[in-house]
């Protein structure tokens, strides 16, 4: 199941200051932005990048699971972001870029609540920790 629930045309998560244990193009396709809304089903708060999974219900009722990669745990924690921000069962919007293999996996750069409040913004390629943090 590879169809995208939502594709956003004007989506930009900062990649200019990219840094990860891999280069962004080695894993993700910047020409394939994705945005989904769904329920968090799993969280893997591990190195080299955290992963979290979102269950998305398509308009036709079909349910798919998307996996999103973000920054390393240490980088997030130094920003004051702990794994408690990703509660199982919470509904979130996630924006990112799809994996190069076309699977339902992506770099998840921005996570927001349905009312627009920010959960965190930290992609797998973020430059962190900022020395000015």
Partner 1 sequence: MKNRIRSAVAAAFLSLASLAAAQPSGGAGFEPPRTGNGKPDFSGFWSQPQHVESVGRGATTFTKDKMPPFVPGGEELFYEPRTGDPRHDEPRAFCMPSGFPSAFFGPYPVQIVQTDDWLVMVTEFERATRLIPLDGRPHREGIESTFYGDPVGHWEGDTLVIDSRNYKRWSLDDYYYVNPEEYRMHSDAFRTIERLRWVDASTLSYEFTVEDPKIFTESWTEDLQMTLHPEWESTGLYEFVCQENNRCPGGDCSSP
Cα–Cα distance, 85 to 76 (Å, whole number) = 11
Interaction residues for partner 1, span 90-119 (CB under 8 A): 99-101, 103, 105
Between residues 39 and 79, which has the closer beta carbon with respect to partner 1? 79
Question: What is the nearest approach in angstroms of partner 1 to the Cβ of residue 17?
Answer: 4
- Residue 20 falls in which region: left (phi positive, over 0), alpha (psi -120 to 50) or beta: beta
* Angle of CA points 42, 20, 14, to nearest 5°: 85
Residue 43 binds to partner 1 (criterion: CB under 8 A): no
Binding site for partner 1 (CB under 8 A): 16-19, 21-28, 44, 46-49, 51, 67, 69, 72-75, 77-78, 99-101, 103, 105, 125, 127-133
């Amino acid at each position: 199941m590879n169809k995208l629930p939502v594709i956003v045309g004007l989506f930009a998560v900062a990649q200019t200051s990219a840094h990860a244990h891999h280069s962004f193009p080695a894993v993700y396709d910047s020409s394939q932005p994705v945005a989904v809304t769904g329920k968090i089903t799993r969280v893997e708060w591990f190195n080299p990048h955290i992963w979290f999974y979102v269950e998305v219900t398509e308009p036709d009722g079909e349910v798919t699971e998307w996996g999103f990669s973000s920054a390393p745990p240490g980088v997030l924690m130094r920003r004051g972001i702990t794994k408690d921000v990703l509660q199982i069962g919470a509904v979130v919007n996630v924006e990112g870029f799809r994996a190069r293999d076309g699977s339902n996996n992506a770099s998840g750069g921005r996570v927001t609540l349905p009312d627009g409040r920010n959960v965190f913004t930290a992609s797998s390629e973020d430059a962190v920790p900022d020395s000015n943090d």
